[in-house]
């Protein structure tokens, strides 16, 4: 039996991943206090913990509490994050800081906590959610994109640092995901659903493979080409 912990336990992608990994395992859903406590099909052992990702100083205490009850976390999936308000951020420093803190600083802090613990145990799986938005940052969402670019770089370096330790760090790079976070927005080419993203991530967890998982896979070629698009054209690209 493994302990699977989803940090961002009410996210659509997180719940889809939890459902696919639930059989025979303990599932932990860690999310902000005060919201719903969703069930996960396939297991009768679901634990709920209050977790405020932005409280970086308190992250380790939540992990301690989970592991005291459930045992060492074998698979930790970080699905929390905010899209933010790009238009507001262009004139509001607080909004910039909010987005960067949640989507980069809080993520890097929790990844570090888990990397340290899992390295000491010689085993474990970490999943960080980057985005194609961070592969070449676009004018239309440059605050969110820059946060994801920072996270992607951090996770890439951490994956190399963990090489040979027994810890598997997976960097998921989905494109536009059709769901609550993007409700009301026009889907981009090669969009995916939370179920499709979860399917790709779980396949990588169970089957192994490269550090980076592009979802869908066609985006890898698309963003290789994107680096050569002239800036005058790139700045007109939509979100």
CATH, residue 164? 3.40.50.720
- Average pLDDT along the chain: 93
103: domain range? 3-234
User: Cα-Cα-Cα-Cα dihedral of 142, 100, 173, 113, to 10°?
Assistant: 160
* Residue position matching structure tokens 């951090």: 154
- d(C-alpha 122, C-alpha 169), whole Å: 13
Task: Read off the pLDDT band of 22 (50, 70, 90).
Answer: very high
Indicate the helix (H) or strand (E) that contains 126.
Answer: strand 124-129
Q: Does residue 58 lie within any of the structural domains?
A: yes
Q: Does residue 170 lie within any of the structural domains?
A: yes
- d(C-alpha 128, C-alpha 213), whole Å: 10
- d(C-alpha 55, C-alpha 235), whole Å: 34
Please determine, for residue 192, whether its predicted confidence score (pLDDT) is greater than 70.
yes
Of 8-17, 118-127, 178-187, 211-220, the poorest mean pLDDT is in 178-187
Q: Does residue 189 lie within any of the structural domains?
A: yes
Please determine, for residue 236, whether its predicted confidence score (pLDDT) is greater than 90.
no
Q: Does residue 92 lie within any of the structural domains?
A: yes
Q: Reply yes or no on whether 144 is catalytic.
A: yes
* Marked catalytic residue, from 49, 129, 144, 176: 144
- Facing residues of 141 across strands? none
Which has the higher per-residue pLDDT, 38 or 68?
68
Please determine, for residue 239, whether its predicted confidence score (pLDDT) is greater than 70.
no
Please determine, for residue 133, whether its predicted confidence score (pLDDT) is greater than 70.
yes
> Would you state the pLDDT for residue 41?
81
Give mean pLDDT, residues 205-213: 97
- d(C-alpha 95, C-alpha 80), whole Å: 17
Assess contact for 170 and 181: CB atoms under 8 A: no
Please tell me the total count of domains within the chain.
1
Q: Does residue 117 lie within any of the structural domains?
A: yes
Q: Does residue 123 lie within any of the structural domains?
A: yes
Q: Does residue 15 lie within any of the structural domains?
A: yes
Of 28-32, 33-37, 61-65, 122-126, the poorest mean pLDDT is in 33-37
Q: Does residue 239 lie within any of the structural domains?
A: no
Nearest to 75 by CA among 147, 182, 209, 170: 170
Q: Please report, rounded to a whole number, the percentage of residues in the chain having pLDDT higher than 90.
A: 79
CA angle 129, 58, 6 (to 5 degrees): 35
Task: Read off the pLDDT band of 34 (50, 70, 90).
Answer: confident
């Amino acid at each position: 039996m493994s302990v699977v912990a989803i940090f961002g336990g009410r996210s659509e992608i997180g719940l889809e991943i939890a459902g696919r990994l639930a059989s025979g395992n303990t599932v932990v859903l860690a999310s902000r206090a005060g919201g719903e406590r969703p069930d996960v099909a396939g297991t009768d052992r679901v634990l709920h913990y209050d977790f405020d990702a932005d409280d970086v100083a308190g992250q380790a205490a939540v992990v301690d509490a989970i592991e005291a009850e459930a045992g060492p976390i074998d698979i930790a999936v970080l699905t929390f994050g905010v899209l933010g308000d790009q238009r507001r951020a262009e004139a509001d420093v607080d909004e910039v800081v909010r987005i960067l803190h949640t989507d980069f600083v809080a993520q890097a802090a929790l990844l570090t906590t888990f990397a340290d613990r899992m390295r000491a145990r010689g085993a474990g799986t970490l999943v960080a959610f980057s985005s194609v938005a961070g592969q070449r940052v676009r004018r239309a969402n440059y605050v969110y994109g820059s946060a994801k670019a920072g996270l992607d770089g951090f996770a890439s370096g951490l994956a190399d640092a963990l090489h040979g330790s027994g810890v598997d760090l997976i960097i998921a790079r989905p494109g536009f995901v059709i769901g609550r976070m993007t409700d009301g927005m026009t889907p981009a080419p090669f969009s995916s659903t939370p179920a499709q993203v979860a399917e790709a991530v779980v396949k990588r967890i169970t089957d192994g493979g490269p550090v980076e998982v592009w979802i869908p896979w066609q985006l890898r070629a698309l963003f290789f080409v994107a680096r050569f698009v002239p800036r005058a054209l790139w700045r007109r690209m939509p979100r």
